[in-house]
């Protein structure tokens, strides 16, 4: 058993502390919450790729900002904006409501609720892309509620894309000018830190080495997504439990990645010629228990493999070209890194999408068949 708190690995988990989102949270406080204290409403859009912490940040604000009434809603749970606003009404105390209320009825009710509680209101609408595209009329009522109905409500719309790309100047004017906040992708270091914190919360102490946490950050980096990183941590923990391990290994992470994103396929391997296969096998040998390896290990390994399988010995340039082909096919990851102070550069080679033990077996079978 290495998972001690499975909840902390769930997508819906909102950590006590959200790292690397200070800029976004500060901006929301400054441009929206502060003015709203004095009844000045301001609307904004939060946008960014999947897994960049949009939903968590919104739920975090709803949890922390006690001096406002914050209603968090997901637009995908409702057929239209009116149905969503009905749900907001239930949250602030409506017991029953006719289905065919007008916007004016809805905002009049919200006005009374705001008066009664003495707290101004923020409506957060997550996954709002379709609503922004297709419900201009309703949005107009919500975003201008202050002017039209004297309702001190501010709205945050959350979406993957910047909505200004599908809005004309006229749309923007009619909806009122609003600021937008980008949720940028996380860097490799940021993802690694998020994984460190999550592992501390969710897993038995000492069950994940820092190399493995860094490796997860590395594999998730192309997506910039904390969701991908945490899913890798979760799946590799279960892979590790399944093999009765007590410590997560690099191989467990590769297995998790191959479950999430089955990228190295039989058909890709079938395209390889005998030299590519031999080079791939040499890379596999070098990567057992290692996150990455160097060309010199691969070249050394080639001598042994050539002898073992009776493959003609090839000059180094041919081997370099084979590595390049494997990279282009996406089976192998190549990274050029500086070796520090004027030492030049060297190439690091890794395989992240499949366990080495599984790949090695497949490659050996293909070599024998040739």
Ligand X SMILES: Nc1ncnc2c1ncn2[C@@H]1O[C@H](COP(=O)(O)OP(=O)(O)O)[C@@H](O)[C@H]1O
Residues that bind ligand X (CB under 6 A): 11, 13-15, 18-21, 48, 50-56, 183, 194, 226-227, 230
- In the complex with ligand X, the residue whose CB is nearer, 199 or 302, is 199
Residue 98 burial (CB count, 10 A): 7
- In the complex with ligand X, the residue whose CB is nearer, 19 or 268, is 19
Is residue 106 a contact partner of residue 22, using CB atoms and an 8 Å limit?
no
User: In this chain, which residue has its C-beta nearest to ligand X?
Assistant: 53
Integer Cα distance of 220 and 52 in angstroms: 12
- In the complex with Mg ion, the residue whose CB is nearer, 24 or 55, is 55
- In the complex with ligand X, the residue whose CB is nearer, 27 or 50, is 50
φ and ψ at residue 74, rounded to 5 degrees: -105, 120
Read off the DSSP letter of residue 16. Answer: S
Taking the complex as a whole, the smallest distance from the CB of residue 260 to Mg ion amounts, in Å, to: 18
Q: Which residues partner with 125 through β-bridges?
A: 73, 157
Is residue 149 a contact partner of residue 182, using CB atoms and an 8 Å limit?
no
3-class state of residue 272 by DSSP: coil
230 binds, among Mg ion, ligand X, none (CB under 5 to 8 A by kind): ligand X
- In the complex with Mg ion, the residue whose CB is nearer, 48 or 217, is 48
Read off the DSSP letter of residue 172. Answer: H
355 binds, among ligand X, Mg ion, none (CB under 5 to 8 A by kind): none
Q: Which of residues 35-54 bind Mg ion (CB under 5 A)?
A: 54
Taking the complex as a whole, the smallest distance from the CB of residue 63 to ligand X amounts, in Å, to: 13
Contact region with Mg ion (CB under 5 A), list: 55-63, 160-168, 179-187, 269-277: 55-63
146 binds, among ligand X, Mg ion, none (CB under 5 to 8 A by kind): none
- In the complex with ligand X, the residue whose CB is nearer, 124 or 240, is 124
Q: At what angle do helices 136-143 and 81-91 cross, to 10 degrees?
A: 40
Q: At what angle do helices 274-287 and 295-309 cross, to 10 degrees?
A: 120
CA dihedral angle for residue 93, residue 98, residue 99, residue 103, rounded to 10 degrees = -70
- In the complex with Mg ion, the residue whose CB is nearer, 55 or 236, is 55
Taking the complex as a whole, the smallest distance from the CB of residue 15 to ligand X amounts, in Å, to: 5
Write down the H helix ranges in the chain: 22-28, 34-37, 54-64, 81-91, 103-117, 129-134, 136-143, 145-149, 169-175, 188-202, 210-220, 226-242, 250-260, 266-270, 274-287, 295-309, 316-328, 356-369
172 binds, among Mg ion, ligand X, none (CB under 5 to 8 A by kind): none
- In the complex with ligand X, the residue whose CB is nearer, 54 or 218, is 54
Taking the complex as a whole, the smallest distance from the CB of residue 21 to ligand X amounts, in Å, to: 5
Among 52, 55, 221, 360, binds Mg ion (CB under 5 A): 55
56 binds, among ligand X, Mg ion, none (CB under 5 to 8 A by kind): ligand X
Taking the complex as a whole, the smallest distance from the CB of residue 229 to ligand X amounts, in Å, to: 7
Integer Cα distance of 300 and 322 in angstroms: 15
Taking the complex as a whole, the smallest distance from the CB of residue 156 to Mg ion amounts, in Å, to: 12
11 binds, among ligand X, Mg ion, none (CB under 5 to 8 A by kind): ligand X
Taking the complex as a whole, the smallest distance from the CB of residue 53 to Mg ion amounts, in Å, to: 8
245 binds, among Mg ion, ligand X, none (CB under 5 to 8 A by kind): none
CA dihedral angle for residue 19, residue 21, residue 27, residue 29, rounded to 10 degrees = -50
Taking the complex as a whole, the smallest distance from the CB of residue 6 to ligand X amounts, in Å, to: 13
Taking the complex as a whole, the smallest distance from the CB of residue 227 to Mg ion amounts, in Å, to: 8
- In the complex with ligand X, the residue whose CB is nearer, 20 or 107, is 20
Residue 129 burial (CB count, 10 A): 17
> In Å, how far are 12, 126, 130 from 84, measured between CA atoms?
20, 11, 13
Question: Which residues in this chain contact Mg ion in the complex, by CB under 5 A?
Answer: 54-55
């Amino acid at each position: 058993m290495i998972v001690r708190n499975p909840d902390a690995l769930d997508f819906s988990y909102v950590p006590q502390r959200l790292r690397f989102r200070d800029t976004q949270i500060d901006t929301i406080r400054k441009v929206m919450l502060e003015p709203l204290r004095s009844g000045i409403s301001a609307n904004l859009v939060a946008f960014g790729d999947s897994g960049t912490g949009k939903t968590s940040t919104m739920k975090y604000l709803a949890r922390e900002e006690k001096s406002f009434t914050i209603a968090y809603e997901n637009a995908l749970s409702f057929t239209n904006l009116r149905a969503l606003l009905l749900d907001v009404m239930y949250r602030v105390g409506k017991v029953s409501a006719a289905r065919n209320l007008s916007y004016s009825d809805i905002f009049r009710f919200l006005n009374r609720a705001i008066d009664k509680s003495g707290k101004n209101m923020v409506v957060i609408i997550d996954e709002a892309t379709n609503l922004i595209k297709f419900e201009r009329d309703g949005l107009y009522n919500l975003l201008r509620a202050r002017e039209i109905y004297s309702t001190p409500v501010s709205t945050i719309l959350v979406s993957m894309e910047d909505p200004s790309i599908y809005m004309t100047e006229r749309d923007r004017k009619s909806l009122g000018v609003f600021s937008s906040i980008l949720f940028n992708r996380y860097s490799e270091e940021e993802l690694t830190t998020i994984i460190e914190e999550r592992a501390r919360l969710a897993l038995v102490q000492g069950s994940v080495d820092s190399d493995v946490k860094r490796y997860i950050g590395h594999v998730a980096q192309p997506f910039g997504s904390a969701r991908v990183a945490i899913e890798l941590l979760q799946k590799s923990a279960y892979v590790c439990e399944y093999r009765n391990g007590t410590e997560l290994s690099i191989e467990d992470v590769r297995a998790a990645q191959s479950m999430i994103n089955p990228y190295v396929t039989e058909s890709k391997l079938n395209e390889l010629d005998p030299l590519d296969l031999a080079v791939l096998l040499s890379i596999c040998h070098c990567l057992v228990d290692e996150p990455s390896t160097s060309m010199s290990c691969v070249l050394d390994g080639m001598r042994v493999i050539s002898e073992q399988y009776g493959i003609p010995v090839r000059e180094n340039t041919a081997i370099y070209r084979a590595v390049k082909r494997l990279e282009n096919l996406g089976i192998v990851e190549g990274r050029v890194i500086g070796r520090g102070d004027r030492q030049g550069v060297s190439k690091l080679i890794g395989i992240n999408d499949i366990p080495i033990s599984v790949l090695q077996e497949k490659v050996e079978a293909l070599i024998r068949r040739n």
